[in-house]
Chains A and B, each alone.
Chain A
Amino acid sequence: MGADALIRKLEQFTQLTEDEKRLLGDATRDVRDYDRRQDVIREGDRPDHVHLVIEGWAARYKLLPNGDQPIMAFLIAGDLCDVQVTLLDEMDHSIRAISPCRIAHLPRDLISNILQQGGRLSRALWWATLLDEAILREWLVNQGHRQADQRVAHLFCEMLLRTKAVGLTEDGSFELPVTQEELGDTMGLSTVQINRTLQTLRHGGLVTTTGRWVVVNDLDALMSFAEFDPIYLHQVNKRARLLQVGSS
């Protein structure tokens, strides 16, 4: 079912009922394929749909007059791309596939209705939006206040945990379908420095790369090196935590 990763992600926050899962499943029947580098939605668009990544990686980006294309977010399976179109008139940034992608088009009115009803599903979608903001905050801190090798290591920690949360990791490794140029656009670093930084992380034994796969050899060591605190990913099931508190 197309909504599997989304349900898995939202259930980090709260347990959904079978009816709620069915509603999300019904909403994600319109799935379309995108080629690498194909735009999903462009700045200024007024879409009728909310987009959900089913498979592959997409990126939020801005196209600047000088040709630069800074990337502000990576979107993976289970990530809603643009819930904001239910309230905002037009897109203030663009989203494109950075690997071949399968993306569901969810009717905007249906998402609007869920949000207006204000129930558990509405809060779960709000949680997902707050999570996007928390990640964006961490990216801002990462870009402005960490050294190049720490920045890349920090991103690797985050993407390992995010892909793991939706079942995409294999033995501590994850697929990174991103070019060094795109990593540079993400980190605010030149392609050459990204290249040198990746070599440093590899030579130091923190990661191994096999094709597009990044193997994190020792997550604790990589987290320590990157000064990575996973708290901003809010991956602890809040309901489970409340139950724990209630029973103690």
Chain B
Amino acid sequence: MPRYFFNVEGGPYPDPDDGIDLKGPGQARDAAVTLAGEMLKDADGKFWSGPDWRLYVTDEQGGTMCLLSIKSTLA
């Protein structure tokens, strides 16, 4: 199975990802959305006072295959 890397900027996992083996790009994209939701749940209200997050998934060749940009705006 191919390996994917879930990189998080601004959020709770600043360290480079060791990667995880998944079935393919579809599962990696689904997993990115789930991970974003899980991170937001744990962040609670702290997200408002911190920087915006970028969650992007890269493959073994280093290519970015999807990006989730999580921004906050206080009206």
Contact = CB atoms under 8 A, between A and B. Distances in A.
Interface of A: 147-148, 180, 189-193, 195-196, 199-200, 203
Chain B interface extent, by class: 10 to 19
A193 B39 CA distance: 8
Given A196-B6, A196-B17, A199-B17, A147 B35 contact: no
26 contacts: A147-B42, A148-B42, A180-B20, A190-B31, A190-B35, A190-B38, A191-B20, A192-B6, A192-B20, A192-B31, A192-B32, A192-B34, A192-B35, A193-B34, A195-B17, A195-B18, A195-B20, A196-B8, A196-B13, A196-B17, A196-B35, A199-B13, A199-B15, A199-B17, A200-B15, A203-B15
B34 to A, nearest CB: 5
Interface string B4-47: 00101000110101101000000000011011001100100000
Contacts of A195: 17-18, 20
Nearest to B20: A195
B6 to A, nearest CB: 6
B22 to A, nearest CB: 8
Contacts of A203: 15
A147 B12 CA distance: 11
A191 B6 CA distance: 12
A127 B42 CA distance: 35
Contacts of B31: 190-192
B16 to A, nearest CB: 9
B34 A199 contact: no
Nearest to B4: A192
A41 to B, nearest CB: 31
A148 B13 contact: no
A192 B35 CA distance: 7
A189 B38 contact: yes
A190 B34 contact: yes
A2 to B, nearest CB: 38
Most buried by B among A192, A195, A196: A192
A200 to B, nearest CB: 7
A196 B5 CA distance: 10
Nearest to B57: A192
A87 B6 CA distance: 48
Contacts of B12: 200
Nearest to A196: B13
A192 B6 CA distance: 8
A199 B20 CA distance: 11
Given A190-B31, A192-B6, A192-B31, A199 B18 contact: yes
Nearest to B28: A192
A120 B71 CA distance: 61
Nearest to B43: A147
Contact of B35 (A180, A193, A199, A200): A193
A186 to B, nearest CB: 15
Given A190-B34, A192-B35, A199-B13, 13 more contacts: A148-B38, A180-B20, A189-B38, A191-B20, A192-B6, A192-B32, A193-B34, A193-B39, A195-B17, A196-B8, A196-B13, A199-B15, A203-B15
